[in-house]
Structure 1
């Protein structure tokens, strides 16, 4: 019997990794495909400062009403979903917020005031004011599926042009230096480290 003590997310991740390690060491894994959908994700997670931040992004629709979200945002669930195969996330998505009032409440919960909402997301709030149909999507990572199919331990083993741990591409030497003409075109000015 194993016990863990910490925040729920830390304990879940640690005990989940331990479960996988014990299963591997004791040859408990089978070759069967076990797909599943994960639903009912929390809408928000608590930050170290005690505020709330979106678990996915601020445009994921909650599964409750505007009034219920205002009353208890910390326990609200989202309309997000992940497709998992044998413990590996293959894809995920969500239903997006399509109601102006709901989007404004989510922004308020995140501490984004009315002025900042208007400045950064005015186009979205205006579009929602005129109406938007319910919409959403899902994105699958075929590279992850291929990884499972060929029995690779790392996704890098099946990606045609993988990056290094520092996000460098050994094939193209990216990221490369940006010349001054490109910087001028984008109206970007570099500062020295001394500034």
Structure 2
């Protein structure tokens, strides 16, 4: 099973749910089997049993989470608390979830930047200079709409919808 990361929660949760049921640990994770009070010898053995089952479930959950998410669950005291914390983290629509997505986007951009630079350098080396606007006649997407241009058969430029003025394939096009 793949480690839980910012983009695979639903798949991870489904697989983990099935695995925990199969290992007879689901009741402690979903909170239906809770820690009994430690107030007598009878409860002492029940507490030890719960503690052992909880520890197994915690271990399984912790070993299936990527390091980048581990800080979110490090202070959790039970498998049920870990499960709730992860569910809250991935199912909420507030600023913390937004922060995860922004971090993921920033990481993706950082990963792409060196590749983009390398491609431009290779193009420059092959063509003997920078990308010339007169040698490259590339379409440009509309900056106020989708970044994906579509051909406009009427003028040879690109447009995003029939009612939108197309962007032409002019020789003044500059790649930035």
Q: TM class, shorter-chain normalised?
A: under 0.3
TM-score by length of 2: 0.20
Task: Return the structure number with greater helix share.
Answer: 2
Task: Return the structure number with greater strand share.
Answer: 1
